[in-house]
Amino acid sequence: MIIREISNEEYENFINVYPYSSILQTTEYSKIMANQDHTCIYVGVFKNNILIGASLILIKKIKGYKYAYAPRGFLIDYSDKSLIEEFTKEIKRYLNKMDVTALKLCPPIIRCIFNKEGKTTGINPKYDTCFNNLISLNYHHFGYNSFFEAYKPRFEALIDLAHDYKELFKNIKKEYKTKIRSAEKMGIKIYRANSNEIDLIYEQTKNKYPRDLKYFQDSYKFFSEKNKMEYYYAKLDTNSYLKYIKKQYETIEAEVYELNQELMKNSNNKLISRKMDADYRLSNMKNKLLEANDLSRKYQKGLVLASMLIAKNRSEIYLYMDGFDTMYKKFNAKHLLMWKIIEKYSNLGYKRLNLGGITDIRVENNKFEGLNNFKTNFNSSIVEYAGDFELVINPAKYFLYRQMTRGK
C-alpha cells in the first residue's frame, strides 16, 4: 500500500463514485480555502495500483508551525482496522516529509440519529469499531462537545426531501406554517440572486461567520462553475405590505364603527369589552400603518430581509450560508425562504437537505435554543457525529506548537 499526492481529476473521479462525500471534501471547497491562506493537496492511498482511499488536506502555518486539517475526515472505511492502520502510517510518513506538526479531522462517523423531541431513531452499529480503531492508532479525541467547541459542528439537522412537497409542508410545526403564510400575505417575495449581490448575504452574516467577503465571493464563484451553488433572498415588497396593512386597518376601523353604532343603541359590558379590544387593535394597526408608509417611502424598490446560499452535492443540498435582518424579524422572511427552498428542491428530486450545524437539543437551558428550534421545526432529524480527532505527526514540534498556542 502506498500513498501519494493525486491530481484534481483523480480526486474528483474518486469522490464521484465514493458512497458518501461532503461539500467540505470537494475540489471547489479546496479552491476556496486556497484563497484563505491554506495550502491544499489531495492524497490517495493505492493498493495494487487501485485507489482505495483519499483525502483533501488543508495546511496552514500557525505561529510558525504547519498544521493540517482534513475537512470531514478521510474518504475511507473507518471500520476496516487494517486499512485505517496502514493509511494512518502512510499519512504520518507523508505529512512528516512536508514538515507538518499535526493533523485534525472531523470524520463523518455517525454515532446516532434522533428526532426533534430528542428520541433516538437510529444507532450506528459500527460506531464503536470505527471509534476504537482511531483511538488505538493514537488519534486524540476532543470529546463529545454539546455546542460549537469543535472545528465543525458535531450535530447537523437533516430534512428528508424524498416526499411530496405537500407532505413536507404538513410536517412543519403549526406555528411555522402560520409564519410562512403570514410572510406571503405581507408581501415577502423570493428571488434568485447573482454574484453581484453577494454583499447582501455578507452584511447579514458577517457577525455570525468568521469569514471575509472574499470567502463568500469565492464560494459562489467556484461552486457555480459547475452549477453547484444557488443564491436566494427574501425581499419585502413595501408597496404590497402597505396595501396589506391598509386593508387590515380599514377592516378594524369598520369593526370599531359598527361597535360604536351598537353601543349607541344598547350599551352592555360585553359590547364595551369588544369595543375596547377593537380600539386597542386599531391603535396597534395605526402604528403599523405609519411604519408601512415609512418603509414604502424609504425602500421603494423593496427591502431584502433574509438570504441563503445553497450548495449542491449529488442528491443532497446544503445550507451553506444563511442570514436575516434582525431589525425585521417579525416579517418571518427567513421562514418563507426556507420553505421555498424545501419546496423547490424536493420537486427537483433531491433526496436530502442538510441544514448544517446545531447544538445538542437534549441539553437544558440551551443558549442556542432559537437556532435549534428554527432548524428542527421544519421536521428535521438530528445526526450526531463522533467529533474532532487529532493525530500528532511530529511529537517534538507538537510540544512546542502547543506551548505557542496554549489558550488559543
Query: Taking the domains of the chain in order of start, what are their residue ranges?
Result: 2-144+386-405, 156-236+306-383, 239-298
pTM higher than the cut 0.85: yes
pLDDT band at 336 (very low <50, low <70, confident <90, very high): very high
223 burial level (CB within 10 Å; 0-12, 13-18, 19+): buried
pLDDT at 322: 97
Amino acid identity of residue 157, one-letter, is A
Q: For position 151, what pLDDT does the model report?
A: 85
pLDDT above 70 (res 352): yes
d(CA 295, CA 376): 32
Domain 156-236+306-383 has CATH 3.30.70.1710: no
Which of the four pLDDT bands, split at 50, 70 and 90, describes residue 209?
confident
How many angstroms separate the CA atoms of 63 and 59, rounded? 13
| Residue 267, pLDDT score | 84
pLDDT at 210: 85
- pLDDT tens for residues 269-326? 999 999 999 999 999 999 999 999 999 999 999 999 999 999 999 999 999 999 999 9
Dist CA 111 CA 386 (whole Å): 6
Query: What is the residue whose three cell numbers read 378594524?
Result: 252
- Render 310-353 in DSSP notation, one character per residue: EEEETTEEEEEEEEE-GGGGGG-HHHHHHHHHHHHHHHTT--EE
pLDDT tens, 52-85? Answer: 999 999 999 999 999 999 999 999 999 999 999 9
pLDDT band at 388 (very low <50, low <70, confident <90, very high): very high
Q: How confident is the model at residue 339 (pLDDT cuts 50, 70, 90)?
A: very high
Biggest alpha carbon distance in the chain? 98
Q: What pLDDT score does 23 carry? A: 96
With a cut of 80, say whether residue 6 has pLDDT above it: yes
CA dist., res. 314 & res. 333, Å (int): 28
DSSP letter (8 states) at residue 75: B
Task: Tell me the pLDDT tens digit for each residue of 112-142.
Answer: 999 999 999 999 999 999 999 999 999 999 9
Please name the residues in contact with 127: beta carbons below 8 A apart, sequence gap of 6 or more.
Answer: 109, 110, 111, 112, 386
140-141/352-358 β-pairing: unpaired
- Please compute the mean of the pLDDT values over residues 345-355 and round it to a whole number: 98
Q: What burial class does residue 298 get, using C-beta atoms within 10 Å of its C-beta: 0-12 exposed, 13-18 middle, 19+ buried?
A: exposed
Q: Is it true that 2-144+386-405 and 156-236+306-383 share their CATH fold?
A: yes
* pLDDT average, residue stretch 139-153: 94
The burial of 240, by beta-carbon neighbours within 10 Å (0-12 exposed, 13-18 middle, 19 or more buried), is given as middle
* Measured distance between the N- and C-terminal CA atoms of the chain, rounded to whole angstroms: 37
Mean pLDDT lowest among 261-270, 275-284, 379-388: 261-270
Q: Residues 6 or more apart from 325 whose CB is under 8 A from it?
A: 204, 303, 304, 305, 306, 333
Correct CATH for 2-144+386-405 of 3.40.50.2300, 3.40.630.30, 3.30.70.20, 3.40.50.1240: 3.40.630.30
- Output the average pLDDT for the chain: 96
Local confidence band at 208 (pLDDT 50, 70, 90 cut-offs): confident
Mean pLDDT of 16-43: 96
Cell of 130: 470505527
pLDDT of residue 266: 87
**In the prediction, which pLDDT does 195 show?**
94
Q: What is the mean pLDDT of residues 167-196?
A: 97
Q: Which of 235, 212, 197, 222 is nearest to 324 (CA)?
A: 235
Task: Name which of 85, 38, 75 is nearest 391 in CA terms.
Answer: 85
Is residue 21 pLDDT above 80, yes or no? yes
Long-range contacts of 32-35 (CB under 8 A, 24+ apart): 32/215, 32/218, 32/219, 32/222, 33/58, 35/214, 35/215, 35/218
The average pLDDT across 370-374 equals 96
CA distance readout (Å), 324 to 212, 234, 303 = 17, 9, 11
pLDDT, residue 55, reads 97
State the pLDDT at residue 22: 95
Q: Specify the pLDDT at position 407.
A: 56
Q: Is the pLDDT of residue 408 over 80?
A: no
